[in-house]
Chain A
Amino acid sequence: MSDSLNAYLILAGILFAIGTFGFLARRNAISMLMSIELMLNAVNLSIIAFGSFVEGLATDGSVIAIMVMAVAAAEATVGLAIVMAIYRNRRTPLVDEYDAMSQ
């Protein structure tokens, strides 16, 4: 089982679906960011799986995964900073109360 590419890819698919559910269903902005992190990790897992099972991708997979991690760190920094800035103005972390644009 740990020697088949399909097991890793299906695992990554399930993790990505969990992240999608969290992003669509949670009301808290930080919960949504955590769900995005789960989705990024699922993508990383599939990249690593391809890297370790496809001949030509052996080291490139790891390099791409490390790049994705760096970009995810940048995304988390900026995303959480934006959440803090909005929280300072609106006093709530719930995204469905951010309705200034619709008034």
Chain B
Amino acid sequence: MMALGALVSLPIGLAILGVIRFNEDILFLVLAEVMLISGLLVVTMRDIIRCGLAMMVCFGALAGIYVIAGAPLVAAAQVLIYIGAISVLVLFAIMLTQTKDAPASLVFQTQALGAGVAAILLAVVIAITVGATDWPAVETRIRTATDELALVLFRDYVLAFEVVSVLLLAAVIGGIYVAKREEGAPP
């Protein structure tokens, strides 16, 4: 509860101090905080079921950021596909593969420290690159109209759309074939 209060009060404090604007900036900061903290929980918590649930929170916050960025259809697809389908798939796989005697304490590889250093370096390098590059960006966000998106998707990108649909079909059939129990094998 205190953590939640800190999460919300930091952006509001920044807004009162005049560093950021009210309304969407506060929402953006809160969603970004929730997304990053739940993302960190996904990779650091010991209980893998909780990792899966934190992943759902992370995807939900990301859907909110998509709405702020002006892509409402992608946000809806994010909720449907990631929170509704992929997270549930991951949770089912967790429940099917985790045994009680699986060593929950041995979560990390021996290379975890090096991995942490490498990840921090990667984040710093990306931040420096983003800051140093002069993007041809406009000042305000461009909202994506859904009808326009549908026109572009089913006219300019219709070949890619069909290829992706065939890929999904192949992936579903392949997934069933790989995960299927063989005849006479123990359950």
Contacts and interface: CB of A to CB of B under 8 A. Distances in A.
Given A24-B118, A59-B152, A62-B74, A13 B123 contact: yes
B35 A2 contact: no
Contacts of A82: 178
Interface residues of A, number: 76
A18 B175 contact: no
Contacts of A11: 32, 35-36, 65
Interface string B105-125: 011110110111011101100
Interface string A36-70: 01100100110011011111001111110111011
Nearest to A74: B171
Given A62-B74, A62-B149, A84-B93, A30 B109 contact: no
Contacts of A4: 137
Contacts of B185: 88
Most buried by A among B89, B93, B149, B174: B93
B148 A13 contact: no
Interface in B1-36: 20-21, 24-25, 27-29, 32, 35-36
A1 B20 contact: yes
B104 to A, nearest CB: 10
Interface in B86-112: 86, 89-90, 93-94, 96-99, 102-103, 106-109, 111-112
A48 B66 contact: yes
Most buried by B among A8, A17, A27, A37: A17
Contacts of A91: 99
Contacts of B52: 34
Contact of A83 (B28, B69, B97): B97
Nearest to A92: B102
Interface of B: 20-21, 24-25, 27-29, 32, 35-36, 39-40, 42-43, 48, 51-52, 55, 58-59, 62, 65-66, 68-71, 73-74, 77-78, 81-82, 85-86, 89-90, 93-94, 96-99, 102-103, 106-109, 111-112, 114-116, 118-120, 122-123, 126-127, 130-131, 135-145, 148-149, 152-153, 157, 160-161, 164-165, 167-168, 170-172, 174-176, 178-179, 181, 185
Given A20-B122, A72-B86, A81-B175, 12 more contacts: A3-B141, A6-B135, A13-B123, A17-B119, A17-B123, A25-B116, A30-B90, A52-B142, A52-B143, A73-B81, A78-B175, A94-B102
The 5 A-B pairs with the shortest beta carbon distances in the complex, nearest first, are: A22-B43, A13-B126, A24-B115, A74-B171, A21-B119
9 contacts: A6-B131, A10-B126, A48-B71, A52-B142, A74-B172, A81-B179, A82-B178, A84-B97, A91-B99
